[in-house]
Structure 1
Amino acid sequence: LDLKVDAVRAKKSKHLPTVLTKDEVFLIIKHLSGVHQLLIKLLYGTGLRLSEGLSLRVKDIDFAQKQIIVRDTKGNESRVTMLPESIAEELKIHLQSVKIIHQQDLQKGYGSVYLPFALERKYPRAKYDWIWQFVFPSSNISKDPRSGEVRRHHLHESSLQKALKQAVRQAGIQKKVGCHTFRHSFATHLLQDGYDIRTVQELLGHKDVKTTMIYTHVLNRGGKAVRSPLD
């Protein structure tokens, strides 16, 4: 039985990301506090994904060069994004309190951290080093399922998501906002400020410029986000 099937390949979703205005971003930030506020400022100010922000190690923040090195979790290549000047001082103060926690952990016989890519075998003492500690550590120590070692992991994403949900509600913003919305807003606002798409692509770590192109469709302008010469 010869059934002729006219198969139509499914089209890729043209779903546009939710983007906040600058005012909305700052309104949400105003309704956050402490570490959650600092994290959202960081995500919006750098374009980091939530997982990248939570995985940051002390050595990834370069205050002298005003930059953040984002290590690819898959171990491929890292990229560089800016360290917003407006949060540099706040980050330094935050790291001072994180360092105290780390020192207390060491005194109690803990203080090790999970190291990626078999570095633990290569450098057995590195896991206790300050530079390898997470910038946003968890408030409690737990057993690492990988090694069985009792240590401090990074902050759990659910605690930020919960705080963000509440802040969005309090700010009265009628949009579906998640942590990733700040990355979308970062990209869109840079393009609105006149930065070229290749620069934005590099900052976001997109392999293909087509992925970055979606933000040109979000801009509140006409065809292909090109400004008419008449304007």
Structure 2
Amino acid sequence: MEQRPKKLLEQVQDAIRLKHYSYQTEKTYVHWIKRYIFFHNKQHPKDMGGKEIEAFLTDLAVHQKVAASTQNQALHAILFLYKEVLKQNLDLKVDAVRAKQTRYLPTVLTKEEVLAIIKQLSGVYQLVIKLLYGTGLRLTEGLQLRVKDVDFAQQQIIVRDGKGMESRVTMLPASIAEELKMHLQGVKLLHQQDLQKGYGSVYLPFALERKYPEAKYEWIWQFVFPSGNISQDPRSGEVRRHYLHESGLQKALKKAVQDAKINKKVGCHTFRHSFATHLLQNGYDIRTVQELLGHKDVKTTMIYTHVLNRGGKGVRSPLDS
């Protein structure tokens, strides 16, 4: 039986998976490509080019009022479509109206505020937040952590294929080591129960699942923070236990911030910002902090120095003179 030709968005999904991009990136790119096509009344992208891209991006900025980062995200998705799927090198300079780039200053908590929030949390959510603050991990890096990447002997955590597909090493806080060991004992018991029920497999990155078919059942590959439910993998269709979903953690954190009476906009990433700032305050050099965070450019890390200067760049107000 002859196979039907793949639809454009299916080709996009195949190209994204070939590049080993995350499932979240896949959903985001497909979303923007669909919006681009619908904006131009379902015209096929191969029949469009620079003018149509400019019109779409301008509409996002002028009428949709999106942030600069959102507009850039849409542009990257469309350029991926042309380069990787349609194999067209547009070689264009997009002259769309650009969304206004705002200077972002991260919210940073004091150590007392961090501890107050952690005190309001419990169970696995408390442990995850402790880990984010104690290591500087991004939320997805923390939730996708695997058993084999927690090195208790060396007191370190290996972050594999982080942002930009780069790997790095960060510290394992001594204050949570025993708690993390106890947590993993419970996770191992859960994994053994899953195996007895005919499950127990986990998603493996890249082509490892084909190369090592049995590895997906091994303890070392399991997620440190597994989901409470077994579900169907949206890509492979296999029924397995994924990692903890971020939405439950975010809800618990929001309540904890309210209960701790912290009048700041706090998200999971705030603990990474606080980690970096507190290290700088404690006298660690910026290059060390850059490596721990996994920043390619030290300029990205420099944003945390604004807190060290206090208030208006360290200038004393005349009212206080």
Do they fold alike, i.e. is TM over 0.5? yes
Amino acid at match of 2:218: D
Establish whether residue 177 from structure 1 lines up as the match of residue 266 from structure 2.
yes
Whether 1:104 aligns to 2:193 is: yes
Checking the alignment, whether the CA contact within 8 Å between 1:216 and 1:224 is kept in structure 2 is no
Change (3 A) 1:140 1:88: same
Distance 1:16 1:141, change over 3 A: same
Deviation at 1:14, TM superposition (A): 2.1
Give distance in 1, aligned partners of 2:151 and 2:206. Answer: 22
- Which stretches of structure 1, 4 residues or longer, exceed 6 Å deviation after superposition? 7-11, 222-225
Opposite residue 185 of structure 1, the aligned amino acid is: S
Distance 1:23 1:141 in 2: 37
Quote the RMSD (CA, aligned, Å): 1.9
Whether the aligned pair in 2 keeps the contact of 1:138 and 1:152 (CA below 8 Å) is: yes
1:82 aligned residue (171, 191, 196)? 171
User: How much has 1:77 moved relative to structure 2?
Assistant: 2.8
Q: Distance in 1 between matches of 2:137 and 2:186?
A: 23
Aligned equivalents of 1:219 and 1:173: distance in 2?
Answer: 21
Q: 215, 222, 228: which is aligned to 1:133?
A: 222
Return the alpha-carbon distance in structure 1 between the equivalents of residues 212 and 164 of structure 2: 17
Structure 1 residue 75 displacement after superposition = 7.6
- Partners of 2:162 and 2:97 in 1: CA distance: 36
Secondary structure of the equivalent of 2:169?
strand
Relative to its length, the structure with more helix (as a share) is: 2
- Cα 1:217/1:123, change in 2 over 3 Å: same
Q: What are the superposed Cα offsets for residues 171-203 of structure 1, whole Å, 9 maximum, x if unpaired?
A: 000000000000000000000000000000000
Q: 2:151 aligns with which of 42, 52, 62?
A: 62
The question of 1:217 aligning with 2:306 is answered: yes
Q: How far apart are residue 223 of structure 1 and its match? A: 8.4
Partner of 1:229: none
Counterpart mapping for 1:1-231 below 5 A: 12-73=101-162, 76-221=165-310
User: For the Cα contact (< 8 Å) 1:67–1:81, is it kept in 2?
Assistant: yes
- Look up the equivalent residue of 1:83 and give its one-letter code: L
> 1:220, CA displacement in angstroms?
4.1
- Tell me the matched-pair count: 219
Larger radius of gyration: 2
Aligned counterparts of 1:123 and 1:164: Cα–Cα separation in 2: 38
Q: Distance in 2 between the 1:216 and 1:8 partners?
A: 32
- In the alignment, what sits opposite 1:3? none
Please say which of residues 194-203 and 64-73 is displaced more in the overlay: 64-73
Change (3 A) 1:68 1:74: same
Secondary structure of the corresponding residue to residue 72 of structure 1: coil
Q: Distance in 1 between matches of 2:163 and 2:208?
A: 14
Counterpart residue identity of residue 153, structure 2: A
Partner in structure 1 of residue 31 of structure 2: none
> 5+ residue gaps in structure 1?
1-6, 226-231
Q: Unpaired segments of 5 or more residues in structure 2?
A: 1-95, 315-321
Instruction: Give the structure-2-normalised TM-score.
Output: 0.65
Query: Structure with the greater relative contact order (CA < 8 A, sep ≥ 6): 1 or 2?
Result: 1
Classify the secondary structure of the residue corresponding to 2:157: strand
- In structure 2, the CA distance between the partners of 1:173 and 1:72, relative to structure 1 (3 Å rule), is same
Counterpart for residue 60 of structure 2: none
